[in-house]
Amino acid sequence: MASLHTFCRRELFQACWEILLDEDFVSAYRHGIILKCADGITRRVFPRIFTYSADYPEKVLIATIKDMGLCPCPRCLTPKKLFSDLGLLQDMKSRLNNLRTYTMTKVIEARDFIYRCGNTVDGVKVDHSLGGGSWVPTLNQFATKLGPLGLNPFRMLVIDFMHECELGTWKSLFMHLIRLLYALPRGSKLVASLDSRFRQVPTFGNGVIRTFANNTSEMKRLAARGFEDILQVFSAYLFSAFDPLTVVITSLSIRAMARTG
Ligand SMILES: [Zn+2]
C-alpha cells in the first residue's frame, strides 16, 4: 500500500509537469517566440531550462528514480556501495562514465505490466523491465517532451549547496557539536564562550556576513543564509589555532564527521 501511495505521488508530480510543458511551451521551445524587447527591437526568444534547483526528495521526483535506492544519484548510476570512494580520482571518472540516460521503452514496458496486466507497482515484472539504475515506472515528462529537443533532464539537476550542505549536513553537524559541547565538563560555559565569539564577529562585505545578534548555539530564527554565515565564520577565522575551544570543536568535528561519514 505504501509503495502504491509513493507511485501515485510520483504520477501526480509528473502529471503537473505534463500540464506545464504543454503544446504552447513545447512549440515555443522548438520555434521560439517573437518578443518586442525593451530596446524596441523585435527578437526571437527561445525558452530554455538550464538548471532546476531542488532538494534531494524533489530531485528524486524530477529524475523519476527511487528515493535512496541502490543507485540514489539523480545524475549518475554510481551504486551506493561505491559512495565511500567519494573524492578519489577513479570515483570522478566512473561518475562521468556512468551518467544517467533515459530509456523510455523500458518505462513504457513496466507501465504496461501495471496498467494492462494488473501487476503491483513494485512487483518483480515491473522491476525486471526497468532494469538496474533505481528507475521508477513513471514517465519522465522532461525527457518525454523536451528530451527530443535536446534537454538532458538529469544534467539540469545541479548540486544545490544551500539545500544539500548548508541546510542539510551542516545544520545537523552544528547541532550535534553544540550538544557535544554541552555534554563536556563546564559545557554551558563553553557554549556561552562560543556564542560570545560569534557575537564579536563584525559584519563582512556588503551583507555577506551579518552580525550574530542572537546566541548562535540556540539557532533561533535561522534561515539558510544564517547557516551559511555560521559555516563561513566557523571555517574562516573564528577559531584561531592552539586555542582550547578550537581543539575541542575540531576534535569533536572530526569524530562526528567520521561517525556520520
Ligand atoms: Zn552522481
The total of other beta-carbon atoms located within 10 Å of residue 172's CB is 12
Please tell me the distance between residue 78's alpha carbon and the centre of ligand 1 in angstroms: 6
Domain endpoint, select from 118, 149, 180: 149
Residue carrying the nine cell digits 507511485:
7
Is 126 part of a structural domain of the chain?
yes
Please tell me the distance between residue 8's alpha carbon and the centre of ligand 1 in angstroms: 26
Q: In one letter, which amino acid is 242? A: F
With a cut of 70, list the residues of the chain below it in pLDDT. Answer: 235-261
The range of the structural domain enclosing residue 247 comes to 161-260
Please tell me the distance between residue 152's alpha carbon and the centre of ligand 1 in angstroms: 14
Q: What is the pLDDT of residue 261?
A: 44
Give yes or no: residues 99 and 17 share one domain: yes
Please tell me the distance between residue 75's alpha carbon and the centre of ligand 1 in angstroms: 5
Give yes or no: residues 96 and 180 share one domain: no
Q: In one letter, which amino acid is 140? A: N
Q: What residues pair up with 34 in beta bridges, in sequence order?
A: 44
Domain endpoint, select from 100, 121, 149: 149
Please tell me the distance between residue 50's alpha carbon and the centre of ligand 1 in angstroms: 18
Give yes or no: residues 32 and 126 share one domain: yes
Is 18 part of a structural domain of the chain?
yes
Q: How many domains would you assign to the chain?
A: 2
**Among candidate residues 167, 194, 174, 190, the one with its CA nearest the CA of residue 260:** 174
Q: Read off the C-alpha cell for 155.
A: 544534467
Give yes or no: residues 125 and 228 share one domain: no
Give yes or no: residues 101 and 37 share one domain: yes
Task: Give Cβ neighbours of residue 169 (< 8 Å, ≥ 6 apart).
Answer: 260
- The DSSP H or E segment spanning 230 is helix 224-233
Give yes or no: residues 100 and 223 share one domain: no
The DSSP symbol for 235 reads: I
Is 156 part of a structural domain of the chain?
no
Give yes or no: residues 70 and 181 share one domain: no
Is 121 part of a structural domain of the chain?
yes
| Surrounding residues of ion ligand 1, Cβ less than 5 A | 73, 75-76
Give yes or no: residues 171 and 233 share one domain: yes
Please tell me the distance between residue 102's alpha carbon and the centre of ligand 1 in angstroms: 15
Give yes or no: residues 171 and 120 share one domain: no
Is 154 part of a structural domain of the chain?
no
Please tell me the distance between residue 73's alpha carbon and the centre of ligand 1 in angstroms: 5
Is 145 part of a structural domain of the chain?
yes
Give yes or no: residues 141 and 187 share one domain: no
Is 20 part of a structural domain of the chain?
yes
Give yes or no: residues 60 and 175 share one domain: no
Give yes or no: residues 192 and 231 share one domain: yes
Domain endpoint, select from 89, 123, 149: 149
Please tell me the distance between residue 74's alpha carbon and the centre of ligand 1 in angstroms: 6
Is 155 part of a structural domain of the chain?
no
- Measured at the alpha carbon of residue 191, what is the angle toward residues 186 and 192, in degrees to the nearest 5? 95
